[in-house]
Amino acid sequence: MEATEQVLLNETAVLLGKSPHFDLGLTQNALPAPLSVPAAGIPADLLANRPDVRAAGLRLHAAEWEIASARADRLPAITLTAQAEYASDQFNTLFDNWLANLAAGLTGPVFDGHRRAAEVDRVRAVAEERLALYEQTVMQAVRDVENSLVNGEKQQAYLDATQKQLTIAKMTLQQAKERYQNGIVDYLTVLTSLLNVQSLERSLVQRQADLLLYQVALSRTLGGSWYTTIVQREGKKG
């Protein structure tokens, strides 16, 4: 475990542009507390921070046809949650309206009084293809965020259940000790209860770490700055 820890510290140092064995100043012995996901959900416009969404939007905007509504900050006006509330007719309507607004923004330049009709058709086809790719990219981004949210929520529930198990196991251990001291049971009963407590303690730490990994995945699916952005927005509202 110590070797694995040092290997990971070396990899982190290199990722930060430092040499291996660089002192990163990591002195915390406990796992960091996970960030809280807003109860109201995460606005879909934060997907604009994702490199793939931005790239698809820029490719769409770079088409030779002007697409006025294709900027990355004009994403569907939906809120992403772990409850999959968007999976309804209302969501489909919102998304279809958003896509229709993008498609309505397709306008074309005049090519010599429409004498070059074939070129006009070609450029329009390119724009429509990039519009379809942009739609697919945004939908995949929504899927990624929803997956990260539901994984995090269920992992938290799993963590809570493990904590309850551990609490009960500690009570059982204490009762086993008392019964052993009173000569009711042998020491094997105490050892069995102790092993159960220690196993649950290890499981609890692992599940806490898994929850943090799901939050890392959520941060990646949102382009990395989602929490700071939401905190700033909430501060402005307040």
**For 167-210, what is each residue's pLDDT tens digit?**
999 999 999 999 999 999 999 999 999 999 999 999 999 999 99
Q: What is the pTM of this model?
A: 0.77
Residue 63 is given by DSSP the state S
Phi and psi for 195 in degrees, rounded to 5?
-60, -40
**For 73-99, what is each residue's pLDDT tens digit?**
567 777 888 775 555 556 677 778 888
**For 24-58, what is each residue's pLDDT tens digit?**
888 777 888 888 887 777 888 888 888 999 899 88
Query: Which amino acid belongs to residue 171?
Result: M
Q: From residue 90, give the alpha-carbon distance in Å to each of 94, 97, 141, 142.
A: 6, 11, 19, 16
CA distance 127 to 107: 10
Burial class (CB in 10 A: 0-12, 13-18, 19+), 37: buried
Domain boundaries, the chain: 37-237
Confidence of residue 72 (pLDDT cuts 50, 70, 90): very low
CA distance 216 to 174: 38
Confidence of residue 237 (pLDDT cuts 50, 70, 90): low
Confidence of residue 7 (pLDDT cuts 50, 70, 90): very high
Confidence of residue 113 (pLDDT cuts 50, 70, 90): low
